[in-house]
Amino acid sequence: MFLSIILVIVAALPPLFLLIYVYSMDKIVPEPVPLIMWLIVLGAISAVIAFFLEGIGDGIIRFLASDQQPIIIVILTYLMVGAVEEGIKYIFLRVKTWKNPHFDYKFDGIVYAVAISMGFALFENVGFVINNGIVVAASRAVLAVPAHMSFSVVMGVLYSYSKFYRNRGREQTSRVCGILAWLLPVGMHGLYDTLATLQTTASTVLYICLVGALYVVGFGLINRESKHDMHL
């Protein structure tokens, strides 16, 4: 029992640390803590929904074709992981925050998206760590969790731009930004999982390069958007 509690704490720390970091970068008007807590819960719920949907899709695809084929891996990682996980997170993000009066600055979209993503990552992380031990916790702390954050930062930036253009009557541009707020994280997530799953020499090298790029993109966007925050 004591060991399980320790594992849960270890699993929860990386996503919570990253969320606190992002929250601290919201310099103008910090978001209400109750709203952030709600988004974390919705992120965890989205992980449960994704788990069931991915299980159904995975079973169908593996029934139709051998899972040894690279094309099946790509389908699974892009459609059954990237599209499903980022899609559910985006739906919850939109439903909970789009009309919220506190969503009034561009950086808010990043905070909201990261809160949902870290709720998702926290739930997922706890499951992985309890089943696989402390070594998995260390690897996920420097690989999977920051990757989830980077996907959500890109989502949050484009989500805020969608609201920005909607407020200025540019409906078509707003819709494009909204679609990209889902599609770009799907592409990033799918590529991440594809390279992690293939486990060839080339894919391993590319995976390491991608992780480095995600760090640069994620933290770079956070710092840039924090410095150039503006009213929506």
Q: How many CB atoms lie within 10 A of CB 127?
A: 13
**Which pLDDT band, with edges at 50, 70 and 90, does 46 fall under?**
very high
Position 38 pLDDT exceeds 70: yes
* Contact in structure between 112 and 104 (CB atoms under 8 Å): no
| Nearest C-alpha neighbor of 109 from the set 169, 52, 31, 47 | 31
Position 43 pLDDT exceeds 80: yes
- The vertex-88 CA angle with 13 and 26, nearest 5°, equals 50
**Residue 22 tokens, joined:** 């992002």
Residue pLDDT, tens place only, 69-91: 677 777 778 878 889 999 999 99
Q: How many CB atoms lie within 10 A of CB 58?
A: 16
pLDDT at 64: 64
Residues 137 and 17: their CA atoms lie apart, in Å, by 14
Q: Where are the domains of the chain?
A: 30-227
Q: Would you put residue 133 in left (φ > 0), alpha (ψ -120 to 50) or beta? A: left
Position 68 pLDDT exceeds 80: no
**Which pLDDT band, with edges at 50, 70 and 90, does 62 fall under?**
low
